[in-house]
Amino acid sequence: MRIKPPLRGRGNAAVRTATAVGAALLATTTLAACLDGGGSSASNRVEIRWFVGMGAGSDAPTIPAQEKVVEDFNASQNEITLVLEIVDADQAPNILSTQIATGDAPDIVGPMGIRGRSTFPGAWLDLTPHIESNDYDLTDFDPALVDFYRIEEEGQIGLPFAVFPSFMYVNLDLFDEAGLPYPPQEYGAPYVDAEGEERPWDIDTMTDLAKQLTVDADGNDATDPNFDTGNIVQFGFGNIFADIRAQSTLFGAGSFVDADGNAQIPEAWAEAQQWYYDGMWTDHFIPNGPYGDSDMLNAGSWFESGNLAMGNTHLWYATCCMAGFEGSWDTAAVPSHDGTTTAKLHADTFSITKSTDHPDEAFEVLTYLIDEAAEELTTTYGGMPARISLQDGYFDRVSAANFEGQDINWDTAVEGMSYVDNPSHEGAMPNFLESEAVIAEYATRFTQEGGLDIAAELEALQADLQAVFDTA
């Protein structure tokens, strides 16, 4: 099953080579300069390369908006030529790694989340001197969010741009068909069942609902003895585009790295993995690998298929991956576990590579992207603006562009930011890419094979991660 498109490059992304994109934009810029009646020619400008693929931005619908941002920037001044390089998200880490290793790194990378930055520790320029020398105004950002990008021993490697809170996506039509009340939209509120009885909105309650909402071709749900596990046409729950760390965070924040840098399996994550595995292979209310890859579930974009009742994922999914959804949907709070609620967070920014030959010009471009272009880009990527002055009306724009006629309760998404995972599920690991490869091998068995001993599998995963950590 395709658990998660790497770094949120969602959908069937158009693969555009850096050379082709750069040539097209350079031609446009040169023409614009000539028509403008003066200014430096493109050849006299400093070229700044903007690498897209380590986060949102490589899926086809987002490309025109990014091209327009580049066109507008290049027309706004005559000293810098901004060149856009869009690569497929599946290949972006390897391509960027090669570019860095060969001395051909781009100047700016982004939007890029926690995972992307963690992939290349030490590769990013400390922006502190440029913020100070330009007297750059940070008052439009939450100070805590500015601090979020200040990394010990690396400095200020980014500035706030966009946040992607997570929440539950609820298919209202499937709930109505089953005669079940919707989950609560307010954190801390109980679930009120059809008889008016209140239950805590927690994993146990959500599991019971998910079983009732998982249906076979004959209309039997997963609680019925006649339920046909080989012919399921609708599932109750799934973590959408989530690797095992994101899956596990539903049970609490954690990390595969302990305080001493050794491999560990957090207790809550071990419990989460057993619950999720049983949900796929024993209770059958979560899609396993074969079902998750099927056309019935849109080959990974499960909620968009209309055949998933509840999905847990981030705000970006609402704008990147809901074009094929038919019906009515709304938000719900993330359920708690053992009295604790964790709504995982993605937070994107742009970073400048430490090896850039033009840090001043790159900083000028970076501030343009998070300032003048921020409203256009955050709407395009589906992220909530980190810039306070842009937050009013953001969700109105998202609804108008993607969900006209539907009354989506976006307050649930905003409220979820009070329950973010710390440490982040996308945090750094020693030998990051090699560690992720080990995790991916485990995930393949996890999603594709029934009958596994999950405790033994996790013990083996810890040992394999430790071996990789030891070579860092």
Q: Tokens 């796929």 — which residue?
A: 280
pLDDT at 361: 98
How crowded is residue 396: how many other Cβ atoms within 10 Å of its Cβ? 10
Summarize pLDDT for 199-249 with one digit per residue, the tens: 999 999 999 999 999 999 999 999 999 999 999 999 999 999 999 999 999
Q: Is the dihedral of CA 455, 457, 460, 465 positive or negative?
A: negative
Residue 285's closest CA among 245, 243, 332, 232?
232
Residue 349: helix, strand or coil by DSSP? strand
Q: Domains (ranges, CATH) in the chain?
A: 6-163+347-402 (3.40.190.10), 165-345+412-470 (3.40.190.10)
pLDDT at site 42: 54
CB burial class (10 A; 0-12, 13-18, 19+) of residue 339? exposed
**pLDDT computed for residue 267 by the predictor:** 98
pLDDT tens digits, the chain, 472 residues: what are they? 323 333 343 332 223 334 333 333 333 333 233 333 333 445 689 999 999 999 889 999 999 999 999 999 999 999 999 999 999 999 999 999 999 999 999 999 999 988 888 889 889 999 999 999 999 999 999 887 788 788 877 899 999 999 889 999 999 999 999 999 999 999 999 999 999 999 999 999 999 999 999 999 999 999 999 999 999 999 999 999 999 999 999 999 999 999 899 999 999 999 999 999 999 999 999 999 999 999 999 999 999 999 999 999 999 899 889 999 999 999 999 999 999 999 998 989 999 999 999 999 999 999 999 999 999 999 888 889 999 899 888 898 889 989 999 999 999 998 998 898 888 898 889 999 899 999 999 999 999 999 999 999 999 999 999 999 999 8
Can you tell me the distance from the alpha carbon of 315 to that of 199, in angstroms, rounded to the nearest whole number? 27
The confidence score (pLDDT) of residue 397 equals 85
Chain-centroid distance of CA 179 in Å reads 32
Question: Residue 84 in contact with residue 70, Cβ under 8 Å?
Answer: yes
**CA 203 – CA 288 distance, rounded (Å):** 19
Q: Could you tell me which residues come within 8 angstroms of residue 51 by beta carbon, excluding any fewer than 6 positions away?
A: 18, 85, 87, 92, 96, 99, 106, 108, 109, 110
CA 446 to chain centre: 22
Do the beta carbons of residue 72 and residue 373 sit within 8 Å? yes
Q: Structure pTM? A: 0.79
- Give me the pLDDT at residue 472, please: 86
Chain position carrying tokens 């998404």: 413
Residue 116: which residues within 8 A CB-CB, separation 6 or more?
7, 54, 55, 93, 109
DSSP state at residue 353: B
Per-residue pLDDT, 143? 82
- pLDDT at position 36 is 38
* Alpha helix stretches (DSSP H) within 37-185: 63-76, 92-101, 114-119, 128-133, 143-148, 172-178
Identity of the amino acid at 226: N
- The span from the CA of 191 to the CA of 201, in Å, is 5
Quickly list DSSP for 206-252: HHHHHHHT-EETTS-BTTSTT--TTSEEEEEEEETT--HHHHHGGG-
- For 161-172, write each residue's pLDDT tens digit: 998 899 999 999
